[in-house]
Amino acid sequence: MRRPLVLAGLLPALPALLALTSAGCHGRAPHLAGEAHGLAVETRTVLLGATEIALVVHTTETTEPTFVVLHTDEQPAVDRGLEAIRARGGRLVEVRGQGDRLVNFELAGRTWRFDPNRIFTAAGAAASLAAYNDSAPGDVLAAALTEVQRFADAVLDATDAGSLPVLVALHNNTEDFYSAASYAPGGDLAGDAAAVYLPPDQDPDDFFFVTDRGLFEALAAEGFSTILQDNARAQDDGSLSVWAGRRGQAYVNVEAQMEHTEQQARMLEALARVLVEAGQIPK
């Protein structure tokens, strides 16, 4: 079904963007340029209460770009990220929890659960614990919150997030649940977006979500659905994009439907072109 073109917040760039050719979702995935790069793999163990959680760091001779995959059940994102860094170099950090979206840990005689992409601000970490766990005495809850925040710090440390020119998260979604259309006018998350580009005849499940206007315009110019976070007004859900936006950190989420592996590969190739042209990663 043809979807409408949405250019909210993009009037200055409208003439150029209307001339773009959309990147399709079909056909063979393009070959990423560059020779094969060997990977070194390091497993960092983070102890949460009585539970060990692994952060697996895959690194070539260069650490740029750096990718992070926060949800253990989004294996296609891991696979596409590894293909990309083998082809042109870089680093990928993946959270390996218990196999599903949430991370579990044992503390004070009970099991706690949290979303590892909702813990990078104090408010977000507290809300994630509240959403997935029963009530607990204040001191026990405070201890659990400390563990979750310590885990967030470990993820940021493994990616060197604060010192990178750009941090790239890789995510997968499912049909009719979360998409670029969520940020269009009237969408559930419209208030979080400063600008929205939705080209026609593209699945809105496959999109870029960024904190930097220059990256927004460059990725939209590549013909992909792209959302610019409103860093001043976005709700504090503890996500990595909110953490980055508050710091003025350039951040990109490469979001694709679980089955759209070829499209996610194309998106990573386009992102590499954009980052090289911006001088944010080596050629």
Output the pLDDT for position 176: 78
**Per-residue confidence at 8, pLDDT binned at 50, 70, 90?**
low
pLDDT in tens, 174-205: 987 899 999 999 999 999 999 999 999 889 99
Spatial neighbors of 96 by CB under 8 A, at least 6 apart, are: 53, 54, 55, 56, 72
**Per-residue confidence at 283, pLDDT binned at 50, 70, 90?**
confident
Of all residues in the chain, the percent with pLDDT exceeding 90 is 83
| Integer Cα distance of 27 and 31 in angstroms | 12
**Per-residue confidence at 208, pLDDT binned at 50, 70, 90?**
very high
Output the pLDDT for position 7: 57
Output the pLDDT for position 9: 54
Output the pLDDT for position 31: 35
From residue 214, alpha-carbon distances to 37, 207, 228 in Å are 29, 16, 10
pLDDT in tens, 221-270: 999 999 999 999 999 999 999 999 999 999 999 999 999 999 999 999 99
Residue spans of the domains in the chain: they are 1-97+166-283
pLDDT exceeds cutoff 60 at 6: no
**Per-residue confidence at 3, pLDDT binned at 50, 70, 90?**
very low
| Chain CA centroid to CA 94, Å | 12
Tokens 């690194």 sit on residue: 59
Which has more pLDDT, 8 or 226?
A: 226
Output the pLDDT for position 35: 52
Q: What is the overall mean pLDDT for the chain?
A: 90
pLDDT exceeds cutoff 50 at 20: no
| Integer Cα distance of 45 and 107 in angstroms | 17
pLDDT in tens, 84-142: 999 999 999 999 999 999 999 999 999 999 999 999 999 999 999 999 999 999 999 99
